Chains A and B, each alone.
Chain A
Amino acid sequence: MVKKRGLFSKIFEIFMVLLTLPVYWVVYYFVINTSFKTQADASRLSLKLPEVWNGVENYKYVLTYNHNMLFKTLGNSLLLSFCSIFILVFVSSATALILQRRKNRICAMSNKLILAGLIVPASVIPTYWVLNRLGLANTMPGLILVEVATLFPFATMMFKDYLMTIPREIDEAALIDGCSPVQLYFHIIFPLLKPITVAVIILRSVVVYNDFQNPQYYMSGSRSQTVQIFIYMFKEAFVADYGHLFAAVILVSLPMIILFIVLNKKVMEGMVIGSVKG
């Protein structure tokens, strides 16, 4: 389909590319540039380069603020993302396998229940009440379980859809060869799920890392706060101190920026596969 492109369409393309300058680049430039400014300079909110390069002080301040709170919260965020995604991948793929391969009333009911979970919002305070009953309120394991439960319907549906494309004959062959059901799951099925597993991991890590609502409700001022809560507190404490605020914004976003640069293609693919059901 080779087609000569008209002058108009070339101009329009240039226009679209140039449009990304004010819409995206100016925003990023503004934030990065301001994060190097002193407080007085930053408060003028201009796009000019800093009068005095105060970046080292700003970033050092944010990093050491409240006794390295950023590092602690970053650690918590990464721990939360890692653990909840790890658990999520195993429990949801196992559930998906059973629900996809077996057909009975319980499976059909579970299916409906999980589908509903894609849509209805999570009830917050009763969840806190349940967690407390389990002795998990305000703890990291409690929050991990909440994240797993919130993401569970989504991940299970993705795995289930993908399992439809894996023929049953593979299972049967494996079982005839003397595979136990557990081996079937771990050695045969799970490796076959790799593309969707990667998508779940990437996509849901972004969601958990950026989650604000669950940590805000379930961690109630606890030591295991996450970076999103850190940036919120920091914002409350330094309302118009844009130099420090933007330095914090950049530091908190850094893991996502790195993820995007390193895994660009995978992230975008994962996003698409993962968003389809929802």
Chain B
Amino acid sequence: MKKVLAMVLAFCLIFALCAVNASAEDAKKYEGRRITVAHRYTGANADAVRAEFDKFEELTGCKIDVEVLAADADEAESVLLIRAATGNLPDVFSTNVGAKLWELDPESNMYDLSGNDWLENVNDGYLQITSRNGATYGIPAADSTVAGVFYNKAIFEQLNLEIPKTWDELLAICEILKNNGITPVEQIFGLANGRQFQFLMQYYYVQAEDPEFAAKYSRNEVALHENAAYVRGVEKVYDLWEKGYINEDPLSTSVEVAVNDFMENKYGMVFRNTSWYTAVNQISPEAAANLGFFPMPDIDPDNIGVTLWMPHAWVASQNSKNIDVVLDLFKFLTTQEAIDAYTSVLTPTGAFLLKDVTVNCELSDVIREAQACAAASSAPAMEYSCNIKGSNMATILSMVGTGEYTPEQGIEEIEMDNAIDAQQKGLEGW
């Protein structure tokens, strides 16, 4: 896994210059054909993906129908799961990679892409996490994201605050912010995914403490509370609430509210992934320029890192009757033209994990900072190596984050909730 990661990361900052031209003789060769693509992107991301499809339609004359799986990540995965189980997968669909990909039983559901020469355009590390037993199932659908702490640069400068190297230093900064009448941290618990970022980004430290943790936990050989870093992750969520460092009503705080509050300099920090930049930038580019990034620190000032999320993969269904069109679409999606179409709609916040592709738009400083952190030291999120996640994770974390559970109770609840999920999946050792 480490080697794979190194390859992915090495790629993150490399933007080569040569573009691949779509050959002219391909023009309109799929006139009258239709394929169906299902994905879970909404808003600007959906528009960006659609721009890629529009370009392909224009080039080949085929029509691409888009189905939206679900706006919520877990719901979208479940939709794929139930459609895989009943053999109703669309021609092309996006799915999370790693453990989620294997859960969909690629051998009987997905088309093996290996042997296509355009796969050489895809980052080798990414190919490795979407390949098994010599078969390759997916190509990157968008850009990677990095999770950490976004801070208000103007406020930090004004109060002479330094980037914290330990969690205690971060709490000290919170105290200063609080004494200056600024909410130290804005927790965005309005939707389920926002309740989990702060906790999930702790995984860098969890795997640093025990590189085999995810594998062992999958086999039920280690309990969550036995990993000190994992426990600290829950404690950190609780700390912010207990010390009064968070906004008054996190459960009603949506991304939109938080962006507005940021523009009004109401708070110092927020725990998110790099798509936060897109959210701010869409409403106010000036405010986005005021964003800074640092990794969430832990106990050791010399070991600081971020947690990384891979782009979802485009996968072809094994039963697709249009596999010729799909393969050409995939080929197109690994080219400069596709990326240009994507970036004309949406400024990327991470790497596309494609070779020979240049991002022809200005990347912001904060995204560069985040990418630099990822290149320095990072780990992919736990979901890539362990697929156990109970149905109430987001709720439990929001209850820890609003003081209804102590960290001990929180961990206990997560363990129980996860155990049910593992048992229902029929995993060995549970």
Contacts and interface: CB of A to CB of B under 8 A. Distances in A.
Do A and B come into direct contact in the complex, CB within 8 Å?
yes
Interface of A: 39-40, 43, 66-67, 69, 128, 132, 137-138, 220-223, 225, 233, 236-241
B257 A137 contact: no
Given A233-B42, A236-B72, A237-B42, A132 B67 contact: no
B260 A43 contact: yes
Contact of A236 (B42, B66, B283): B42
B255 interface: yes
Contact of B50 (A67, A132, A239): A67
B43 interface: yes
B222 interface: no
B105 interface: no
B260 A137 contact: no
Given A236-B71, A239-B190, A221 B38 contact: yes
Contacts of A222: 67, 88
B46 interface: yes
B129 to A, nearest CB: 24
Interface string B187-200: 00011000000000
B17 interface: no
Given A66-B46, A138-B86, A236 B191 contact: yes
B67 A221 contact: yes
Interface stretch (B75-83, B367-375, B391-399): B75-83
Nearest to A40: B260
B71 A221 contact: no
B70 A221 contact: yes
B67 A223 contact: yes
B65 interface: yes
Interface of B: 36, 38, 42-43, 46, 50, 65-72, 76, 79-80, 82-83, 86-88, 190-191, 254-257, 260, 283
Nearest to B42: A237
Nearest to B257: A240
B254 A240 contact: yes
B109 to A, nearest CB: 14
A132 B70 CA distance: 21
Contact of B88 (A40, A220, A236, A240): A220
A142 to B, nearest CB: 10
Contacts of B79: 220-221
B86 A128 contact: yes
A192 B88 CA distance: 44
Nearest to B86: A132
B217 to A, nearest CB: 28
A233 B86 contact: no
Contacts of A236: 42, 70-72, 191
Contact of B68 (A66, A132, A241): A66
Nearest to B78: A220
Contact of B66 (A39, A66, A240): A66
Contacts of A66: 46, 50, 66, 68
A221 B42 contact: no
Nearest to B188: A239
Given A66-B66, A222-B67, A233-B71, A240 B76 contact: no
16 contacts: A66-B46, A67-B50, A67-B66, A128-B82, A138-B86, A138-B88, A220-B82, A221-B70, A223-B65, A225-B67, A233-B42, A236-B191, A237-B42, A237-B71, A240-B256, A241-B256
Nearest to A224: B67
A172 B71 CA distance: 59
A138 B71 CA distance: 18
Q: Find the residue from A40, A43, A237, A241 having the highest chain B CB count within 10 A.
A: A237
A134 to B, nearest CB: 11
A239 B65 CA distance: 25
Nearest to B283: A39
Contacts of B68: 66, 69, 221, 225, 233
Contacts of A240: 190, 254-257
Nearest to A217: B82
A277 B408 CA distance: 51
B390 to A, nearest CB: 18
A233 B191 CA distance: 13
B83 A220 contact: yes
B66 A239 contact: no
A233 B66 contact: no
Contacts of B191: 236, 239
Contacts of A132: 86-88
A240 B76 CA distance: 22
